[in-house]
Amino acid sequence: MASGNAIRGSRVGAGPMGEAERGESAPRLRVSFWCSNGHETEPSFASDAQVPETWDCPRCGFPAGQDRDNPPDPPRTEPYKTHLAYVRERRSDADGEAILAEALAKLRGEI
């Protein structure tokens, strides 16, 4: 004998209605984009929507363009810099020596 729950195993919205229940789908346009690694992506857009010039490649994350032979360049990433590297960009070795001498003089009580 079956239990008293008649909709067991169904999900909300499941049924035979299909598109009549949800409405008609908008006309679609598939556009191909290629990244610098040669990956092709084909997102679909509504036919009346404005197609972007670039699209992010879902495989490698690089920007992809619509020209297969001339894809956009990958973004240039700067390597991680330490605090000391930034200080060395701003100060010369002579400036560093002068600051160190001043700080040591303060510690020794000479100033």
User: What is the model's pLDDT at position 19?
Assistant: 59
- What confidence tens digit (pLDDT) does each residue in 23-74 have? 777 899 999 999 999 999 999 999 999 999 999 999 999 999 999 999 999 8
The strand order across the sheet containing 40-41 reads 40-41, 33-35, 63-65, 54-56
The pLDDT value recorded for residue 35 is: 95
Specify whether the CB–CB gap between 63 and 54 falls below 8 A.
yes
For CATH 2.20.28.270, list the domain ranges present in the chain. 28-65
Q: Using one digit for the tens of pLDDT, what is the confidence trace for 74-87?
A: 888 888 999 988 88
| Binding residue positions | 35, 39, 57, 60
Per the annotation, binding residues for Zn(2+) are 35, 39, 57, 60
Q: Which CATH class is domain 28-65?
A: mainly beta
Helix (H) or strand (E) holding 105: helix 93-108
